[in-house]
Structure 1
């Protein structure tokens, strides 16, 4: 359909030799569509708490928090 301007991360993602489910998960993460408590709240789902389930910081569970700011995530990244 002609040339399109896409972000370089998406070009790298789809050309990578990873499993399709990993590519789809990363695509969802880049588009802020991973089912975090924040996304469920935006979809009007009522939960008792929207705080992160992995830490006790009383911080809302967002994609950014879940993968980068959460102490549990930082510990996992350090192990890797």
Structure 2
């Protein structure tokens, strides 16, 4: 299908010796395609609230918030 330039993270990702489902999830995360409330909103799905379900803040649930900014995820990352 021709040559295309991709980010170096993708070549590292596919060469890594991880489970395929982990590779696919990380690929979805890099492409902002993880099913967050923000993505459902962009796909015109109606929800009562688009805020994060894991914290009490009224922050919209995006991939960035869900995996890095949310206090719950910060606690999870710190415990690892």
Q: For this structure pair, what is the TM-score category when the shorter chain's length is used for normalisation?
A: over 0.9
Describe the superposition over 1:24-64 as per-residue Cα deviations: whole angstroms up to 9, x where unpaired.
00000000000000000000000000000000110000000
How many residues in Structure 1 have an aligned counterpart in Structure 2? 80
Quick one: distance in 2 between partners of 1:5 and 1:44? 32
Q: Distance in 1 between matches of 2:58 and 2:25?
A: 26
Unpaired segments ≥5 residues, structure 1 = none
Structure 2 unaligned spans of 5+: none
Distance in 1 (CA, whole Å) between partners of 2:54 and 2:4 is 39
TM-score of the pair, normalised by structure 1: 0.96
Q: Secondary structure at the match of 2:76?
A: helix
**RMSD, aligned α-carbons:** 1.0
Q: 1:71: which partner in 2?
A: 71
How many Å apart are 1:6 and its aligned residue?
Answer: 1.2
TM-score (norm 2): 0.96
CA distance in 1, matches of 2:2, 2:43: 35
2:6 is equivalent to residue 6 of structure 1: yes
Task: Note the C-alpha offset of 1:5.
Answer: 1.5
Equivalent residues in 2 for 1:7-46, closer than 5 Å: 7-46=7-46
